[in-house]
């Protein structure tokens, strides 16, 4: 149970992602929140019920470095001449 003051928002609350972190695993990219919700580094959430919530659309792009890895069409012509 939550013993924080003020109490953390519940897992069914819209503010669920604002609960205190109970166990952080930054090397794995996720944190367990006080209300039982697992928050991933891209802001996606996994509820105690097993339901997943996608990251908010406003956080674009989530991983630009990962997305562009191996594909660099913009630089192809720069050194051709």
Interacting residues toward Zn ion by CB under 5 A: 2, 4, 8, 20, 34
d(CA 66, CA 71): 10
Minimum CB distance to Zn ion smaller for 32 or for 62:
32
Minimum CB distance to Zn ion smaller for 34 or for 37:
34
d(CA 7, CA 19): 8
CB of 5 to Zn ion, least distance (A): 9
Minimum CB distance to Zn ion smaller for 8 or for 37:
8
Q: Are 33 and 39 in contact (CB under 8 A)?
A: yes
């Amino acid at each position: 149970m939550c013993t924080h003051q003020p109490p953390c928002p519940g897992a069914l609350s819209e503010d669920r992602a604002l609960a205190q972190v109970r166990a952080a695993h930054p090397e794995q990219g996720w944190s367990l929140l006080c209300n039982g919700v697992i928050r991933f580094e891209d802001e996606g959430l996994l509820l105690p019920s097993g339901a997943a919530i996608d990251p908010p659309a406003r956080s674009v792009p989530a991983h630009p470095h990962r997305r562009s890895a191996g594909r660099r069409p913009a630089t192809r012509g720069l050194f051709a001449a």
